[in-house]
Structure 1
Amino acid sequence: MASAIWLLLLVVFVQVSIIAAVTDGGDSSALKSLAADWKSAPPGWGSADPCGDGWVGIGCTGSRVTSIILPNMNLEGDLSGDISALSELQQLDLSYNKGLTGPLPASIGNLKKLTNLILVGCGFNGPIPGTIGSLELLRFLSLNSNAFTGRIPPTVGNLSNLYWLDMADNQLEGPIPVSDGSTPGLDMLLNAGHFHFGKNKLSGTIPSQLFNSKMTLIHVLFESNQLTGPLPSTLGLVKTLEVVRFDNNLLSGRLPSNLNNLTSLHDLFLSNNEFTGPLPDLTGMSSLNTLYLSNNSFASSDVPSWFPTLPSLTTLMMENTQVQGEVPAEFFKLPHLQTVVLKHNGLNGTLDIEPGFSTQLKLIDLQSNSISELNDTAGTYNFDLILAGNPVCEETGTTEPYCTVPQPNSSPLYSTPSKNCLPASCSSGQVSSPTCRCAHPYTGTFQFRGLLFSNLGNSSSYVALEQSLMQFFQSHQIPVDSVSLSNPRMDPFEYLLLNLRVFPYGEDSFNRTAVSMIAFVFSNQTYKPPKNFFGPYVFQGDLYENFSDDPKKSKKTSIAIIIGAAAGGSVLFLLLVLAGIYAYRQKKRAEMATNKSNPFANWDPKKSSGSIPQLKGARAFSFEELKKYTNNFSDANDIGSGGYGKVYRGTLPTGELIAIKRAQQGSMQGGLEFKTEIELLSRVHHKNVVSLLGFCFDRGEQMLIYEYVPNGSLSDSLSGKSGIRLDWTRRLKIALGAARGLQYLHELANPPIIHRDIKSTNILLDDRLNAKVADFGLSKPMGDSEKGHVTTQVKGTMGYLDPEYYMTQQLTEKSDVYSFGVLLLEIITARRPIERGKYIVREIRVAMDKTKSLYNLQEMLDSTIGFAAPPKGLEKFVDLAMSCVEESAVDRPTMGEVVKEIETIMQMAGMNPNAESASSSATYEEATKGVPLHPYSDESFAYSGGFPTSKVEPQ
């Protein structure tokens, strides 16, 4: 009998082993080879099966390994060439593992499906292999802050899909490669937004061929190299540029006369070169915030007339540039001006400081010029004025404060304060957080390569960064309690350095998964800092040695407990195996019966919060069906993409068009959102709400099948992307349709539904321009027991987010009303809620003057509306929008009241609120020809919670 039982157990073990070994054999061997080359592979990497046993940092699709995400895991060793065996690998991020050294294997070029290669802040050395140019799907290539040598591989020019290219802070040398007919080069990267090559040893001239008008570059950073010759005039053809850095090189010659074509440029750094000729004419560069021209050999010239014409300027650094004459008093009245450094020049005459100077001014440094008089008619001022070394300070006995150079401030410029509590006294190694809890924080350093302010002691910029970080962590469900920033300082390369601490939520330290998530959002540039303060950045993560899941901590357990647990566990294991055999047989019988009667029997409780979705009117599609309807998910049917995944157009056998939202691996974190959207939409039926036709939960896939809405999102039409012209009457109809859809969700759905993510990308337009509310991934049903509000984690989209909800975490229908109010302002201005650091609600509130026509908002309103005659009801529309965005929820109307008000406005405009939308304009008819744009893309998935994806967006 005993032998029979052991034989039965052996059979069970064999079967379990076969079932558990789900990883492809080649992939499993490759990962084990990698682990063998690393001295400190993550715990659990020694277990039998990478996918089945959930190895830390390994993502799988079916049996194949598709991602390796291991930033800041304290890895040491080489990157084995065996990695090339992972033929389905799409993402590889090993950033902030300084112990990873040696060359990058040439066989990495065999990873043909790789889209993200991120190795920031490691110790890799040797040349970058040319085989990297065979990774045709690569979108994100980040090799910065290593020790790579040799030249930039010209084959990088073959990466036509590349968006992010960062090889900064290495030891690369030689010329910048461009194509010559037989050899590729960087000039071929027409889809790239980022060229980051600073802090290398690149030499030779900058080829004029490097830039052309077809490029879409945002950042061009070649600072701190050894480049010679002139700055090519072709740079002025790339009108999308926002940050340009060629400082600290050996460039010479005259600056191109067409630099002022770069009207979107925020930061221009050209200091410490050998430029000659006259100063460039920068008239018209209305977006320019930061200008560095110091230490060049420009010809002597008077103060440029364009000084006072740069309305966005915050920082002017023109030390030792041979400029002469008087600085006009109007220059100091630029509203955002903070820092002016014009020392060691030939300025002379009288310096006028008149009333009305910028309230943000912190420093005017005019040392070592020839200024003979100060005309200070403004009286007192709170900025530093330095005139030492000028004739005005050479009189005997002069004691004016502006005649001395102030000592550097040695006290900390900023450190995050505690939040209404006393800092805790912590044990060794722990730190008191802003919420006064002792913990082991994750730490690192932000290195900002461009910034839109120069007053390093201005706390508002750092508070904005802290709030932005916390909102990001919360919306992406990363377990963070608080963050702190400290010690802002400028390094010799004119980078802003800022220390960061991230504190764990509910624990005294992070586990490996949490550290990996935090590091990943920085290495992958998923997190974007506030654009009104900060430009491009690099993050350097510090070594983290206090993982809560470190197996070394478990060794403190007593031997007696271990022995007792092992003995008890053995008995329990035997009982469980016997019970398991019986349960397994019973389960198989039950599954056979259930599968015949229940189409949702394959729903996986582990991924769906525990229960089968309760559906009304939606059906389950099989993977094979959807594969057929989309022609095997062909590129021709790819109509959009975003953080969630891709969306495909499909055609049912009946000829009906459908939109299939297919989650990509790594974004299927939202089992709750997936289930919520199915259950909510399946019972929502209204002409102004997108209809859910079904879903697919088959073969490890998560897909939602919607009705096809052919004319894209409201955002597409407001931006001009769709080609549909929206006059005043169409905008009113769209606003009414969206309001009715939202009213239905709040008042008639059972139970009532709070959408939580109302925005222009989630309002879709059908073939007759009827508005439909879409994307319910963040929606929250209101149960009977929830009186008035739901206390829940803050989610939504910045700019539309209700500030009261953000502060209290209490979600109500009025949170949707606030978002809808922002949407109404977007409808009349065609501006994004946050644009160039300006918040539309605040801008409208400040500009409004009810005593004037159109409330004095003509400059802010979208000219497409037409102002030949004032649009009837527009003032009432603005009043309605502003009532929706009242700070206190009790002061906002309900959606039912909003609907009635829009109907009244339409009647004022001579329209019938109950008439169907028409589609008669030529622009609309033209826009609907061919393959229309589709809304299920990019921002449709912003801030949907869960682990961040690899989607790259412009900074």
Structure 2
Amino acid sequence: MSRVQIMLFVAVVAVSCWFLVQPAIAQITDPSEVTALKAIRNKLLDPMNNLKTWSDGDPCSSNWKGVLCYNSTLEDGYLHVEELQLLKMNFSGNLAPEFGQLSYLKILDVMWNQINGSIPKDIGNITSLKLLLLNGNQLSGPLPAELGYLPNLDRIQIDQNYISGPIPKSFALLNKTRHFHMNNNSLSGQIPPELSRLPRLVHLLLDNNNLTGYLPPELSRTPNLLILQLDNNNFNGTSIPASYGSMAKLLKLSLRNCNLQGEVPDLSSIPQLGYLDLSQNQLTGAIPSNKLSNNITTIDLSSNSLTGPIPGNFSGLPNLQRLSLENNNLNGSVPNAVWKNMVFTGNRSLLLDFQNNDLTSLSSPLNPPANVSILLYGNPVCSSANQLNIEQYCQNQSVNPSPGGSGNSKTNCNPCPSDSGYEYNPLSPILCMCAIPLEVGYRLKSPGFSDFRPYSDSFQLYLSSGLELSLYQLFIDSFIWEEGPRLRMKLKLFPNNTSLFSDSEVLRIRGMFTGWLIPDSDIFGPYELLNFTLGFYSNVIPNRGSSGLRAGAVVGIVLASVAVAVALSTLITILIVRRRSKYHAMSKKRSISKIPIKVDGVKGFTFEEMALATNSFSSSSQVGQGGYGKVYRGILADGTVVAIKRALEGSLQGSREFFTEIELLSRLHHRNLVSLVGYCDEESEQMLVYEFMPNGTLRDHLSAKSKEALSFSMRLSIALGSARGILYLHTEADPPIFHRDIKASNILLDSRFVAKVADFGLSRLAPVPDIEGDLPGHVSTVVKGTPGYLDPEYFLTHKLTDKSDVYSLGVVFLELLTGRQPILHGKNIVREVTSAYQSGMIFSAIDSRMGSYPSECVEKFASLALRCCQDETDARPSMPEVVRELEIIWRMSPETYTSPLESVVGELKNETPTSSSLVDSQPYLSSDVAGSNLISNVMPSIAPR
């Protein structure tokens, strides 16, 4: 090619590039929206520096993170913000009123952060808004009535916050809204009957609030309602309207624990009803004898006062998975044909729970298939169990939640490169195809079944088709039931028989989730996105900020397309070479990022030792599971029983954080702290090994389901032990530590019911003297902890002090006294007990299961607990004062109140406490080493969040 030709080629490319970028140069974001975005940023606390790009350049043309724009057809010529995607970025702070200035916003997504304060009423000014996604934060205050004037709103999600006050009647004006997700808040008052006017409403989720009044009969007139979920509210002993039996499109009706009375309505006319839960009310009368829909999977009428025989209409329901009628007054014969006309294949099963009724006979011999479980304990018929050959059905059994599970990803292939994120797609038609998947945290919020296993294949088909993927691209890595009940899943999405997704495909899939573009399903119900882990593809998302420029660049692209055709092939070659170089550099960087761990005094175990201790991590060894991973009971080679917490992949953020946790725990040695035995860090596995605590958590023993209640002396002993453990952390640990997550499920009990404080995953080092020797009074930090136990002042100021632990411990003391949970049905234990104490009715709040107790000691204990729970930090006692007062109450408690359960700790009762007993800093290692519910991350949250 001659010099002239080269110069001509360069000129053509330059002109073409000028055309390509010209629209971007000409257009900027509306200045008022730029001002609003900066005000929004200033109101948010951003410890991860996610909004660092919000400082320079133009929002729409400079790739501000989470800002998605488009070209307006208006004559103003500006770009406008269409979406704010700020999912799970660890923000705290407040929502700015300036959100209301984003006049063209369609999606506002700040889910799964820690934002507090109230919802600005100014959001009601965004008439273009379609998705308002605020769930999973710490928002409080009332719902602004202005939100009812959003004419295009499709979905409002405020669940899992602390929103209080009534549901505004203006919400009845949201004529385009289909999804009302307001569960797990503190909403109060009457459900507005006016909501029945909403023509497009399909999901009304108001469970776990403090709603009162009556159930509006008018809701039966809501034309398209599919799910009505109102569990755990208080409807003041009213009845279920008979009109609910005429809800023609209803798929799920869940009214558990709502203080409802009257009879069970006839719901046989609802043609597609698939899930019915009316349990834990005060319903009376007979069960209606009309047959329910063939779609029904779950019927739960347990814990009512129902009478009469079990009707025959439960027979022949082809999709039934669970029939729960326990804890009623049902009489007559045990039905033996419920499973009639049912086909049991694979994992399909049926649970019939008839426990604790008045069933006296069998209509004919029981001979159920192997997949049918029948529970009859607590019925008179079991007195003749031997003669009737029904011993196996008369055992006292707790009904466990439906099982979770994981996909089978085992192959005979050689390992993929583990340091670069590659793994096999176990479903790929190409054998041993290594690829880098996308990981998605996904949760079904109101599924229409009790057991997911028979529906796993249809779910895979539903979601893959909804995402426009091939069936083998979606792999269900694991699933687990959570309180609600809700079904949480970890999904892996694989490229279509290539090793990598293209950038455009990553953006498309993410947009399907974040825009709620996946069609709804009758059986699987509404879903929520918990996380969308980009991993290797992290560099893709910033490009989305300029996606709106494509429309403005069309003319330039058309004019330049011919001229740059040759140049593109060269550029593509260069980009491929650079991308491969970048990938290899990233792989190399990842391969050397792992740091070796060695901590004096803490044993390092091999993966082989951990597998041997747990029988290869068998399900029979598993004793707990949660967001962190699974907990197994293990037996080491020397016979020591331990609890092994095995992290899910990605739950510990790298070896440095893992090392920090081990190093912190290795310094703590006290009788009332759970001891770290060792760790394992190899073969992409990270595990912590603790002493085993055979008596589980304090929360277990305060539950109404506990077989034997704790006496007052035992509760006082646990309170004193817990307080001594916290005092050690504050004053004797080197350096001192603020626990930050004290709660009943983090206080474990060994074989002798000695209390031990556990879980230091949220702990922070106490402040140290500055250069002038002054000691700061607090640690400034993002608010962490468990709702119901959080120090109000810490929550408001983000200033963590030793008195923050005092507040949380005070809440535990109130639990010990009352047996109640910190937050239940919107009622706060501190407010409830304070009211009883001030009115002279404190003894009416005491746990009746505690038996006899010394009233003077109980009153002093209650007084101490309430002083620990004062809103003002300075009004609370210090930890030394708490321990000292507990020891005084302990000495006051007479021997006559010692229960048989307490005899195993009699030595503590005979001990004469001295000032030295305030802190027992001697190491204490039980031969029974960490427990069935070891770590709070593995336990369900106490508050129904």
Task: Please report the TM-score for the alignment, with normalisation by the length of structure 1.
Answer: 0.49
Larger RCO (CA within 8 A; separation ≥ 6): 2
